[in-house]
Amino acid sequence: MNNIKELENYFVNLDFNIKFKIENINNKNFDYCVTINNEKLLVEMKNEVRPRTLAFMDALFSNQNSKILLVANYITPSAKEKLREHLINYIDSFGNAYFNLGDLKLFIEKGNAKPISKGTNEIFTSSGAKLLFELLKNSDSINTKTFRELAHICNISLGSVSKIMNGLQKEGYIIASDKTNVELIRKEALLDKWVNLINEKVLPTCIKGKYMFGRNSQSEWENINADIEWAGEPGAALLTNYLYPEKFSLFTDLDKIDLIQKVGLLPENQGNVTVYKPFWNENGINNRTVHPLLIYAQLMYDGNERNIETAKIIYNEYIQHNI
């Protein structure tokens, strides 16, 4: 996507005549440098921009000695708002734009932007999300486990594993590292796509119900001793001691009666506790929290600024070394 012709097309789509010039760039953190009305801007080009994307683009906010221009196919409304708060200029492919320059003040919002869909392939499906959960947790699984073992662990069909692996290879996410082994690469890109995938295609199908705290008050949630694994905000609180949870989620195989009797929860459609069934196969509940990768995905998808800050802590401490 990072080519000059495509960059020029963004300016054409503005329906507003802005003259710009491509300059030489010495900053490796950005894609281009342009001059608009004698002001230089460092250009960062992305496909999609969401609040969680911005959380890991520290250069946009820290490099305030230079003007920044973010160029993307699609920018969510909440991400645009955050960019304007930080005086970061942006253009999207729909002709929406924000410029805050010395001689150019421009804000165009047509309300026409929607995520660009390129269709689904073998990878980005519900089954793909489950397999990627295993591979992103432990990339060695791609060589140490058979397709049949992966199918069992991920609770998907053997045929799905084969299709997904073929898709990963076709899309350039798997390469041969030697004659007998393959390697999962571009894991950062997969992780970013997986956050949406797991939250939109898998978690909604795993909801067992909504509950509220009953016998145990909300302030005593850490003392609950039952066959459950905390996720989302409470899981993050246990991992980092940084977040005070307001919305609760947990994974368990317990049924409704056990959730009432053993966990002390009460069914409530408007409750702040979401109970999920595990979408993976494992031998019982052995941990206080689900894997940090799943907690990270829930926090990042939520988009709440405090949750994103906590997600970055989890990423640095538990995920980055494997990506």
Q: Summarize pLDDT for 145-197 with one digit per residue, the tens.
A: 999 999 999 999 999 999 999 999 998 899 988 878 899 998 988 998 899 89
Same domain for 217 and 299? yes
Mean pLDDT score across all residues of the chain: 87
Mean local confidence (pLDDT), 72-94: 89
In percent, the amount of the chain with pLDDT more than 70 equals 93
- pLDDT attached to residue 287: 85
Those residues with Cβ within 8 angstroms of residue 118's Cβ, 6 or more apart along the chain or in another chain = none
In a domain, 84, yes or no: yes
CATH number of the CATH domain containing 133: 1.10.10.10
- pLDDT attached to residue 129: 96
Q: Summarize pLDDT for 25-40 with one digit per residue, the tens.
A: 777 778 888 888 888 8
Q: Summarize pLDDT for 259-294 with one digit per residue, the tens.
A: 999 999 999 999 999 999 999 987 555 689 999 999
Mean local confidence (pLDDT), 219-236: 94
In a domain, 197, yes or no: no
Q: Summarize pLDDT for 116-139 with one digit per residue, the tens.
A: 545 447 898 999 999 999 999 998
Same domain for 179 and 217? no
Written as one string, the DSSP assignment of 231-246 is EHHHHHHHHHS----S
How many other C-beta atoms are found inside a 10 Å radius of the C-beta of residue 106?
14
How far is CA 82 from each of CA 50, 88, 115, 299, 301, rounded to the nearest angstrom? 10, 9, 18, 17, 16
In a domain, 169, yes or no: yes
Give the model's confidence band at 1: pLDDT under 50 very low, under 70 low, under 90 confident, else very high: very low
Same domain for 282 and 309? yes
Tell me which residue range forms the domain holding 155.
Answer: 126-185
Sheet arrangement for strand 89-92: 20-23, 32-36, 39-49, 67-75, 89-92, 97-100, 105-108
Contact assessment for residue 262 and residue 201, using Cβ atoms and an 8 Å cutoff:
no
Number of domains forming the structure of the chain: 3
